[in-house]
């Protein structure tokens, strides 16, 4: 990967799932890169107001502005949550006008949940499938579509949508039926968008798999996963401190966006960039 300096001008990011974990790590990484030449505005989206405030505090900097959108419930109507987020983006853009036309407007979709990893494909109830799809795909697709439509007006600015993906989007493992299927669907949604914007050099889409992270979600995986081989694998990685640090994978993802030389629609894994 070729690294380069970020495009000069204001950078504006929406980060969903910003209340903690990877979302917070990305916000912190971006805040450290903000300068007078490319000031940063973060629209931080999450359910928990108190935890979102902690992310705001962690992302503070002399060239950083933050807008918190709390109380977002992905089980509610997708159009309602999408409108709430896009209104916050419009407000952030209006306040950032004194920084000049944006050089980059990006959406990073971190929000998501793991499915019940004690279950196999034959164990799911229809309502469980519907609820999981609403939270992890319908809300994602709605926001992705609205963001792409509303940012089409920004002319020469770079427009980017990042889907936080997973190895499970391209490789199957037991007990991950719902999670893997939705991750694959999210990947494909951006791949189609990339084909539709093949002639637009300033519009790109990225499916980024951050690796097995050393965070609360991975702890939940170790507690829930029914498959004994995976349980041992993740437990050994945890004990041997081989899980990926949030700060490290956030840095790699931000480097990819700064370089702007990735193939639009690509699925890029942390270990594609940093060999295991």
pLDDT at 52: 94
Q: Report the CATH number that the domain containing residue 253 is assigned in CATH.
A: 3.40.50.720
CA distance 115 to 257: 29
Q: Report yes or no on 236 lying in a domain.
A: no
Q: Report yes or no on 155 lying in a domain.
A: yes
Joined together, the tokens standing for residue 266 give 């690509």
pLDDT at 267: 98
The answer to whether the CB of 72 falls within 8 A of the CB of 81 is yes
For residue 22, give the nearest of 217, 272, 273, 257 by alpha carbon: 217
Q: Report yes or no on 64 lying in a domain.
A: yes
pLDDT of 18-35, one tens digit each? 999 999 999 999 999 999
b/e map of 196-226 (b: 16 or more CB within 10 Å)?
Answer: ebeeeeebbbbbbbbbbbbbeebeebbeebe
Q: Report yes or no on 58 lying in a domain.
A: yes
Q: Report yes or no on 237 lying in a domain.
A: no
Q: What is the pLDDT along the chain (276 residues), one digit of tens a residue?
A: 444 566 678 899 999 999 999 999 999 999 999 999 889 999 999 988 999 999 999 999 999 999 999 877 766 656 677 888 888 888 888 776 666 678 899 999 999 999 999 999 999 999 999 999 999 999 999 999 999 998 877 766 899 999 999 999 999 999 999 999 999 999 999 999 999 999 899 999 999 999 999 988 889 999 999 999 999 999 999 999 999 999 999 999 999 999 999 999 999 999 999 987
Strand partners, 159: 105, 203
The total number of structural domains in the chain stands at: 1
The answer to whether the CB of 209 falls within 8 A of the CB of 186 is no
Q: Report yes or no on 221 lying in a domain.
A: no
For residue 46, give the nearest of 74, 66, 65, 87 by alpha carbon: 74
Q: Report yes or no on 230 lying in a domain.
A: no
pLDDT at 76: 64
Q: Report yes or no on 201 lying in a domain.
A: yes
- Provide the domain limits for residue 56: 10-211+246-273
pLDDT at 2: 46
Strands 158-164 and 40-45: unpaired
The sheet carrying 64-69 orders its strands as 64-69, 40-45, 10-16, 102-109, 158-164, 203-209, 266-269
Residue 217 backbone zone (phi > 0: left; psi -120 to 50: alpha; other: beta): alpha
């Amino acid at each position: 990967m070729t690294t380069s300096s970020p495009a000069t001008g204001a950078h504006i990011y929406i980060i969903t799932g910003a209340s903690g974990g990877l979302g917070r790590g990305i916000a912190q990484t971006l805040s450290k890169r903000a300068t007078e030449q490319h000031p940063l505005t973060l629209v931080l989206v999450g359910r928990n107001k108190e935890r979102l405030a902690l992310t705001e505090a962690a992302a503070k900097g002399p060239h950083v502005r933050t807008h918190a959108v709390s109380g977002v419930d992905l089980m509610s109507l997708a159009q309602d949550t999408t409108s709430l987020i896009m209104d916050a983006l419009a407000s952030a853009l209006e306040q950032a006008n004194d920084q000049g036309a944006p050089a980059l407007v990006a959406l990073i979709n971190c929000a998501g949940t793991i499915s019940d990893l004690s279950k196999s494909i034959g164990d799911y109830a229809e309502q469980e499938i519907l609820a999981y799809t609403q939270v992890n795909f319908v809300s994602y697709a709605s926001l992705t579509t609205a963001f792409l439509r509303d940012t089409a007006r920004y002319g020469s600015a770079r427009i980017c949508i990042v889907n936080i993906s997973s190895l499970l989007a391209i490789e199957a493992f037991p007990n991950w039926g719902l999670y893997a299927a939705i991750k694959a669907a999210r990947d494909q949604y951006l791949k189609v968008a990339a084909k539709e914007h093949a002639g637009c050099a300033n519009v790109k889409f990225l499916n980024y798999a951050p690796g097995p992270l050393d965070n609360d979600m991975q702890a939940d995986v170790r507690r829930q996963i029914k498959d004994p081989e995976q349980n041992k694998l993740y437990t050994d990685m945890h004990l041997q401190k081989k899980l990926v640090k949030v700060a490290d994978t956030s840095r790699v993802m931000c480097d990819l966006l700064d370089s702007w030389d990735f193939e639009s629609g690509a699925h890029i894994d942390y270990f594609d960039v940093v060999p295991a």
